[in-house]
Amino acid sequence: MAKAHVTTTVNGDAVEFLCDAEQTLLDVLRDELYLTGSKEGCASGDCGACSVIADGRLVCACLMLGVEAEGLAIETIEGMADGDQLHPLQTKFLEHAALQCGVCTPGFLVAAKSLLERNPDPTEIEVRYWLAGNLCRCTGYDKIVRAVLDTAEEMRGG
Amino acid sequence: MAANSHGKTNGSTRWVGTRPVRPDGVDKVTGRARFGADVHLPNMLVGKVLRSPHAHARIHSIDTSAALALPGVKTVVTRDDFNDLPSEFVPAGEMLINYRDVVRNVMAREKALFEGHPVAAVAAVSEKVAREALARIKVDYEVLPHVLDVVEAMAPEAPLLHEDLITAGVEPAPTTPSNVAKVVEFKLGDVEAGFAEADIVIEREFSTQPVHQGYIEPHACIANYSEDGQAELWCTTQGHFVVRGHCAKLLGMDVSKLRVTASEIGGGFGGKTVVYLEPVALMLSRKSGQPVKMTMSREEVFQASGPAAGTRVWAKVGMTNAGRITAGEAVLKYQAGAFQGSPVQPGCMCAFAPYDLAHVKVVGYDVVVNRPKVAAYRAPGAPQSEFAVESIIDELAKRIGMDPVELRLKNAAKEGTKAAYGPTFGPVGLVETLEEAKAHDHYRTPLKPGQGRGVASGFWFNIGGETCATLNLGEDGTIALVAGTPDIGGSRASLCLQAAETLGVDVERIRPLIGDTSTLGYTFLTGGSRTAFASGMAVIEAARDMIRQLCERAAKIWDIPVDAVEWIDGEARPAGSNAGEFEPLSLADLARLAGKSGGPFVGRAQINAQGAGPSFGTHIVDVDVDRETGRVTIERYTVIQDAGKAVHPSYVEGQLQGGAVQGIGWALNEEYIYDDKGRLQNPGFLDYRIPVCSDVPMIDTVIVEVPNPTHPYGVRGVGETPIVPPMAAIANAVEGALGLRFTDLPMSPPRVLKALGDARVPKAA
């Protein structure tokens, strides 16, 4: 079967790619566009390591087909920093040592950014439930939650 | 908030004990860091494994012809491509593995021994073609009866996994094979005499389920085998030198012809100390003449990579009414999985290690079952046996109405205690962690109605071992640090801090790198909580080597004897007024002058680090149990542990927090569920539920520092001990809340509900 031609936007840039019908958005990002910051931890939507934002919605890229990206604006971890300026969440994750191995970190950052865009002043419980779709096996989540809460406070000008 | 302070933890060091941003941090928050599956090579093929659908089956034949005929399929490998290897045990982390078994675990030979056991592998132009090829391979299986349970596997009528397995460690040696690979025994004193001194004796049976390390990054590698017999391998591993050795052995290569590079590693916890895909990828690449990339799916990770051993443990502890423990005895039966080598020996050694006892006897059985071969998981073997003992200690304390921390203090191992497994402890910090627990706000805060509080302590040995490190001084006075232990949780930061401390230079001037297997001498893997300790010692030794060279150079430049030069605060100075009047030469000065004064500076160390100090910890947990759903909620959790010296306190806290939460999962949720054919029913993160963010509270930490005398800054390993206490601490807390003692893990909602239901049944019924 011929590959599908898809036109989309990734991190603000117009992108075209060819993909098989069964390729997921994650497969396309990693294997066709070489954007390997989004990770495959489960391929079943359970770990959140492939979290991306599609037209403003936080999704697991492993649960979307590549062809579904047609016409959407996709944001990945690679687009989170602004040039050489890290996003405040990225800076706070480093300051709080909110990562150990770091493989879940891109997904957590994308998910946390999506949270703070909706809710600039989340409670600890709200942070914990929003991030419940992102698995981390190293940190026990403590420093991640602290980093997100601290970022929210800083971004509010607190 | 402790986690966000950037100050020093004590005044005696300038860099060790501070919290700089880790040197690899920006790469990890931007998606730039390259993990096992993040590399693509030109002309690369995709490798896929065909796995046994049966838990136990003889393999009569494998027909790969239809797969090979499929366009796009480049090669297929089976058991016929790997030479059989004789029995030979080699260290793998804190466990031993046998090459006869490794070659069979990587690719089944006579039999498939668990669901998911590799039977064949293909390399093809795409994943799609590779999958189609797998479906075309015909395997003629003779399905055999299987056994999953450790006690059933020990029964005389149990299906035999290995027809030639004769139990080791019993005299006289058995004449018939069984599933018991080994019996081990540790004895101190006379347990019968010890129990005779006791006023109270409690004995109970416990069980724990296999649990997976649950690293978020599945196994992945790329092999590139050249026609001249040399190969490169990129893989996610805790020890690339160990991978090199295993792969060279399985492929019949010289180790010098195989260069292994450790990618960034997305978690391991012991599970990435062995090889699975790597030898297969190399073989596919050798046969196809192209690079081959292989990755496991999450399902494959669960089916075919190593969990921690499921166990049955019987334990018995005697105590006087005054709270003195008089004797401890235990029998440990550990699942090894399909091949021998469970961590039952360390399980035996750790069982009573927290206590100063005169009479101890522990017997362990290493038992093969039709499950994936177990791998190390954070303090391998210890959590299971210490869960049993720490549960009974709690029960004893309640029996005599003594505070459980007080009871532990009365019996705690300390400097000079002779452990049942042999050695006499040097300075250790169990008493200090217990004193901290007693004084902690958590322990003094009253419980809310319905809640329960539990405490438990834990022990792990820690290891040292063969380790190399190099410091290369650049011409501008900055330094490249090369270590050989993959950085799994921030160790590059702690190695840089130790180098900066020794050299007396700003940590920002040191950039770390994990060198590949050709850039350093043999370096054992990241495991045994050894990296900050052993690679730290190597880095300190390399820094001292560089300081010697720098002082010699300064002496030459000044034309004075070398012993008239000293190195202070990052610069060479004349030692005292007799040495002469010279302006100090800083590291940057000497780097700049290197070429003109005699050549470059390289500090090297190759050591076999000894004297890893053991680490003790004590955990406090409060739980609430929902009596309608059976759900146990962790309301508050505090980890107190001896780190010797916390090099980067944030990452020490991280180890304590992460280990505790893995223990929470082990205690409350995680288990493998099999059907009656021995097939795993929950090989995914939806049904094998590791703790998520909303399951846990903040994890408070207290770092105790009882310096390890063999390390220049007092460092002990910290990574493993924190997974030891949680299971007993939580069971003790649940007992406090419900008045019911759970001896079988996990304490999942169905089991809690069942126990509550049983309790409601009138005793007469």
Q: Taking 70 as the threshold, does the pLDDT of residue B752 lie above it?
A: yes
Average pLDDT over residues B298-309: 97
Look up residue B381 and give its two tokens: 């073997």
Average pLDDT over residues B593-616: 96
DSSP β-bridge partners for residue B62: B139
Does the beta carbon of A81 lie under 8 angstroms from any beta carbon of chain B? yes
More confident residue, B757 or B15: B15
Give the closest of B489, B651, B694 to A128, CB-based: B694
B240, B260 Cβ separation under 8 angstroms: yes
Residue A6 binned pLDDT confidence (cut-offs 50, 70, 90): very high
Residue B466 binned pLDDT confidence (cut-offs 50, 70, 90): very high
The identity of residue A2, as a single letter, is: A
Q: Taking 90 as the threshold, does the pLDDT of residue B765 lie above it?
A: no
Each domain of chain B, given as residue ranges in start order, spans 45-144+220-295, 147-210+306-402, 429-461+613-765, 464-609
pLDDT at position B420: 86
Look up residue A67 and give its two tokens: 């062809």
CA distance A70 to chain B (A): 22
Q: Helix (H) and strand (E) counts for chain A? A: 5, 5
Residue B78 binned pLDDT confidence (cut-offs 50, 70, 90): very high
Residue with token string 């799609």: B128
Can you tell me the distance from the alpha carbon of B429 to that of A134, in angstroms, rounded to the nearest whole number?
A: 36
pLDDT at position B1: 30
pTM of the prediction? Answer: 0.96
Does the beta carbon of A132 lie under 8 angstroms from any beta carbon of chain B? yes
Q: What is the pLDDT of residues B259-296, one digit of tens each?
A: 999 999 999 999 999 999 999 999 999 999 999 999 99
Residue A131: its chain B contacts at CB < 8 A? 693-694
Fold of B45-144+220-295: Aldehyde Oxidoreductase; domain 3 (3.90.1170)
pLDDT at position B95: 72
Residue B489: its chain A contacts at CB < 8 A? 100-101, 138
Residue with token string 């004769």: B166
Task: Tell me which of B26, B44, B216, B698 to substitute to probe the interface with A (most A C-beta atoms closer than 10 Å).
Answer: B216
Fold of B429-461+613-765: Aldehyde Oxidoreductase; domain 4 (3.30.365)
CB contact under 8 A, B488 and A34: no
pLDDT at position B8: 32
Q: What is the pLDDT of residues A129-143, one digit of tens each?
A: 999 999 999 999 999
pLDDT at position B759: 63
Residue with token string 């001990």: B721
Domains of chain A: 4-79 (3.10.20.30), 88-155 (1.10.150.120)
Residue with token string 């304490």: B747
Q: DSSP for B521-553, please give it.
A: S----S-TT-IIIIIHHHHHHHHHHHHHHHHHH
Same fold for the pair B147-210+306-402 and B464-609: yes
The CA-atom distances, in angstroms, between B405 and each of B202, B438, B538, B738, B741 are 18, 7, 38, 20, 19
Contacting residues for B374 by C-beta, under 8 A, at least 6 apart:
B210, B306, B307, B308, B309, B334, B335, B336, B337, B341, B342, B343
DSSP β-bridge partners for residue A24: A65
pLDDT at position B2: 34
Element holding B380 (H helix, E strand): none
Average pLDDT over residues B439-453: 97
Look up residue A91 and give its two tokens: 């800076």
Instruction: For the domain covering B464-609, report its CATH number.
Output: 3.30.365.10
CB contact under 8 A, B128 and A20: yes
Q: Taking 70 as the threshold, does the pLDDT of residue B760 lie above it?
A: no
Tell whether ipTM is more than 0.90.
yes
Average pLDDT over residues B370-395: 98
Q: Provide the mean pLDDT of chain B.
A: 95
Phi-psi map region of B678: left, alpha, beta (phi>0 left; psi -120 to 50 alpha) = left
What percent of chain B clears pLDDT 70, i.e. is strictly above it? 97
Average pLDDT over residues B743-750: 97
What percent of chain A clears pLDDT 70, i.e. is strictly above it? 99
Contacting residues for B67 by C-beta, under 8 A, at least 6 apart:
B73, B76, B122, B133, B134, B136, B137
Q: What is the dihedral of CA B69, B73, B79, B82, to 10 degrees?
A: 130
CB contact under 8 A, A143 and B3: yes
pLDDT at position B764: 42
Q: Taking 80 as the threshold, does the pLDDT of residue B7 lie above it?
A: no
Does the beta carbon of A154 lie under 8 angstroms from any beta carbon of chain B? no
DSSP β-bridge partners for residue B95: B92
pLDDT at position B224: 98
Architecture per CATH, B147-210+306-402:
2-Layer Sandwich (3.30)
Residue B36: its chain A contacts at CB < 8 A? none
Other C-beta atoms closer than 10 Å to the C-beta of B219 total: 27
pLDDT at position B248: 97
Q: Taking 80 as the threshold, does the pLDDT of residue B94 lie above it?
A: no
CB contact under 8 A, A41 and B35: no
pLDDT at position B763: 44
CB contact under 8 A, B266 and A133: no
Q: Taking 90 as the threshold, does the pLDDT of residue B511 lie above it?
A: yes
Residue A93: its chain B contacts at CB < 8 A? 25, 29
pLDDT at position B255: 97
A77, A38 Cβ separation under 8 angstroms: yes
Q: Taking 60 as the threshold, does the pLDDT of residue B4 lie above it?
A: no
Q: Of B713, B727, B697, B700, nearest to B643 (Cα)?
A: B713
Can you tell me the distance from the alpha carbon of B409 to that of B418, in angstroms, rounded to the nearest whole number?
A: 16
pLDDT at position B487: 97
Q: DSSP for B220-269, please give it.
A: EEEEEE-TTS-EEEEE--S-HHHHHHHHHHHHT--GGGEEEEE-B----T
Q: Taking 80 as the threshold, does the pLDDT of residue B455 lie above it?
A: yes
B481, B469 Cβ separation under 8 angstroms: yes
Residue B265: its chain A contacts at CB < 8 A? 101
CA distance A41 to chain B (A): 5
